[in-house]
Structure 1
Amino acid sequence: MTFNTALDSISTYEAGKPIELVVREFGIKENEIIKLASNENPLGASPKVLQSIVKNVSNIYLYPDDSMFALKESLSQYFKVHTNEIIIGAGSDQIIEFCIHAKANKNSKILMAKTTFAMYEIYSKAIGARVIKTQGEIHNLTEFLECYNTHNPSIIFLCVPNNPLGDCLDKSEIYEFLKQINEDTLVIIDGAYQEYAKAKDSAKSIDPQELINSFPNTIYLGTFSKAYGLGGMRIGYGIAKESIIKALSKLRPPFNVTTLSLLAALEALKDQEHIQKSLQNNLEQMPYFESFAKEQGLDYIPSYTNFITYFLKEIDSTQIANFLLQRGVIIRNLSSYGLNAIRITIGTKEQNKKFFTLFHHFLNQK
């Protein structure tokens, strides 16, 4: 059987290994496994979210409210935007796909950083668009502007902060860049980790209302998968001017977000106390990872997310990732990005201690 030839240039996205796989392959008990691979909130979801799910689970035979009124209203109040400036997706990934299908085609060019979220490239190549990448690993807006002026792309992706490296542009840099971009170019600001960036440095904070009012050709993407602890519920959102949302909504399938996901996101957004507790854990634990890197002579980019990436020299990323995996600690090997590097989610104090202990053990046996 033949398939779309565009698939020939696409590599399958490699997600972080699930806990179930480690149980099956290595016989480790589930409660002894630590997952530090997919940037989930180590504190989990808000208890109020769990209560809401239990209370409403008997209604899962009914289709969800396809208008998503309650969640849109709550996001509208939280970000001070109109409900008609919001779209909800099955993860912000789905909204990325909507954006590409709505704006680009096989004759289009799409600009992104050399190392960034892999789905930008996968969705772009799936429609046959040409992917343009900057030369440097981290976001450099001088390089972006040069590429923009040379190639005139239909879409620009800015991951703020950037996954999988953790670098983060200042808001002022982004705004100066946007002033030089044609109004017919769609600029996607992926804010999946914005909660962490804001907590660490206000200069990195992007206000969606200010962004779209200042630059009507932008869309801000957010997710409930990271700081809000709802990775398993698959729910994200996009905020843009009504004209953009109308275009994207034509591509949204009916009932694309489940009843329980909508309820979970609604309750998670309300419980900002839980979010602050999660952000505080991240701020307190990140310095230990930075100190460990310095002690071991590992390079890293200062991170504005809930993960840190170590660039390895004498250590092979696959070896250390497999060593940890066999001992019940799951991290992300970045060899699929062409990097000899590993990405580690910032866990709880106890989880992080186990990671450091095992990493020391690996180094000592070499």
Structure 2
Amino acid sequence: MKFNENLAQLVNYEAGKPIELVVREFGIEPKDVIKLASNENPFGTSERVVNAIKDVAKNAFLYPDDSYFELKNSLASKFNIGAKNIIIGSGSDQVIEFCIHAKANEKNAVLMAGVTFAMYEIYTKHVGAKVYRTKAQEHDLTEFLEIYKANKDEIAIIFLCLPNNPLGGCLDADEVYKFLNEISKETLVVFDCAYNEFAEFKDKKKWIDPAKIVNEFKNAIYLGTFSKAYGLGGMRVGYGIADENIIAELGKIRSPFNITTLSLKAAIEALKDEEFVTKSLENNFKEMTRYEEFAREFDIEFIPSYTNFITFKFKEQNASEIVQKMLKKGIILRDLKSYGMNALRITIGQPWQNDRVLKELKEMLK
């Protein structure tokens, strides 16, 4: 059977291993497994959200309000924008897919950082567009601009992952806005800000303001998610914020009822529980210092992170072997081999989780 020829150049996205896999393969009890591979909130989901989901579960047979009126208006109030400036997606990665299908094709190209979220390239190849990457792993805007100017007529979309996943670094907002002024209004610039809450908490200079994007940059879109700081990874709710014209075009691609009745209620309630988010952010950066100190002690290169994870780059040790050994001990970390790196990524957990991870890592490395 023949399929779309663009699929021949694709490999499946490698998600973080689930707890169930470790239980099956190594016979470890679920309660003894620590998953710090997919940047989920280690505190789980707000109790307020859990109760709301239970209450609305009886309506699981009903489709959600496809206008997403309450959620859009809550986001509009939070960011001081209009509801018409918002599109809802099944995770922010669905909005990434909307952007690529709306703007890219086999006649043009997409520009991204040397190491960044893998789905940008995967979705780009779905439509047969060319991929340009910087030589720098992190976001070097000088190099971005050089590549863009040399291929201006070809590049339809630029992806900026701020903070960058899977590395953790982040640019200052002012330099990003300055960069935007150099870009043609015909080029769509996508700000993937899944970890923006973490970046702002650590350093307010990193905060990308959705209202500024809407009001000043008609060729840009801000992407946010409920999967990280809000602890709703399993609910799959993301959003895009942009000029009304961009949102209207993306809306032509969105299928009806693209998030669930339960997901919609969860997101609405999550926005109301800022105390839960603050607790998560405070724990994250307090605990992250422990990993930084550990890296210095064992001469491991790490990237200063503005996210809820930290990336360790290894010189002599094999990161893949470390990840596999940790897996057998019931600790799930993320191997970055698929990104061409001898590195691993660790989601920052609760203190007791980090105690165990650091203890096991220390035993291996010493």
Tell me if both proteins adopt one fold, taking TM over 0.5 as the criterion.
Answer: yes
Alpha-carbon separation, structure 2, partners of 1:297 and 1:363? 10
Counterpart selection for 1:211 from 210, 213, 217 = 213
Alpha-carbon separation, structure 2, partners of 1:2 and 1:341? 37
Find the residue that maps to 1:149 and give its secondary structure: helix
Alpha-carbon separation, structure 2, partners of 1:363 and 1:344? 16
The aligned runs of 1:106-117 (5 Å cut-off) are 106-117=106-117
Letter in 2 for 1:355: V
Q: Tell me what 2:36 maps to.
A: 36
Counterpart selection for 1:311 from 306, 310, 313 = 313
Find the residue that maps to 1:3 and give its secondary structure: coil
Q: Tell me what 1:254 maps to.
A: 256
Determine if contact 2:22/2:330 at 8 Å carries over to the other structure: yes
Per-residue CA distance 1:290-319 (angstroms, 9 max, x = gap)? 000000000011000000000011111110
Q: Tell me what 1:157 maps to.
A: 159
Q: Tell me what 1:200 maps to.
A: 202
Alpha-carbon separation, structure 1, partners of 2:58 and 2:156? 45
Find the residue that maps to 2:111 and give its secondary structure: strand
Find the residue that maps to 2:158 and give its secondary structure: strand
Alpha-carbon separation, structure 1, partners of 2:228 and 2:151? 33
Q: Tell me what 2:86 maps to.
A: 86
Q: Tell me what 1:18 maps to.
A: 18
Determine if contact 2:60/2:262 at 8 Å carries over to the other structure: yes
Per-residue CA distance 1:200-259 (angstroms, 9 max, x = gap)? 001101110012211110000000000000000001000001000000000000110000
Q: How many Å apart are 1:189 and its aligned residue?
A: 0.3
Q: How many Å apart are 1:9 and its aligned residue?
A: 1.4
The aligned runs of 1:57-206 (5 Å cut-off) are 57-152=57-152, 153-206=155-208
Q: Tell me what 2:231 maps to.
A: 229
Determine if contact 2:85/2:214 at 8 Å carries over to the other structure: no
Alpha-carbon separation, structure 2, partners of 1:335 and 1:310? 12
Per-residue CA distance 1:60-108 (angstroms, 9 max, x = gap)? 0011111111100100101111000000000001000000011111111
Q: What number of residue pairs does the alignment pair up?
A: 364
Q: Which 5+ residue runs of structure 2 have no aligned equivalent?
A: none
Q: Tell me what 1:301 maps to.
A: 303
Find the residue that maps to 2:271 and give its secondary structure: helix
TM-score w.r.t. the length of structure 1 is 0.99
Q: How many Å apart are 1:11 and its aligned residue?
A: 1.7
Instruction: Give RMSD over aligned pairs.
Output: 0.6
Q: Which 5+ residue runs of structure 1 have no aligned equivalent?
A: none
Q: Tell me what 2:243 maps to.
A: 241
Alpha-carbon separation, structure 2, partners of 1:176 and 1:70? 34
Determine if contact 2:34/2:332 at 8 Å carries over to the other structure: yes
Q: Which runs of 4+ in 1 moved over 3 A?
A: none
Determine if contact 2:298/2:365 at 8 Å carries over to the other structure: no
Alpha-carbon separation, structure 2, partners of 1:165 and 1:171? 18
Q: How many Å apart are 1:151 and its aligned residue?
A: 1.2
Find the residue that maps to 2:131 and give its secondary structure: strand
Alpha-carbon separation, structure 2, partners of 1:113 and 1:207? 21
Find the residue that maps to 1:228 and give its secondary structure: coil
TM-score w.r.t. the length of structure 2 is 0.99
Q: Tell me what 2:53 maps to.
A: 53
Alpha-carbon separation, structure 1, partners of 2:208 and 2:96? 18
Alpha-carbon separation, structure 1, partners of 2:193 and 2:210? 9
% identical aligned pairs: 57
Q: How many Å apart are 1:5 and its aligned residue?
A: 1.4
Letter in 2 for 1:23: V
Alpha-carbon separation, structure 2, partners of 1:70 and 1:233? 17
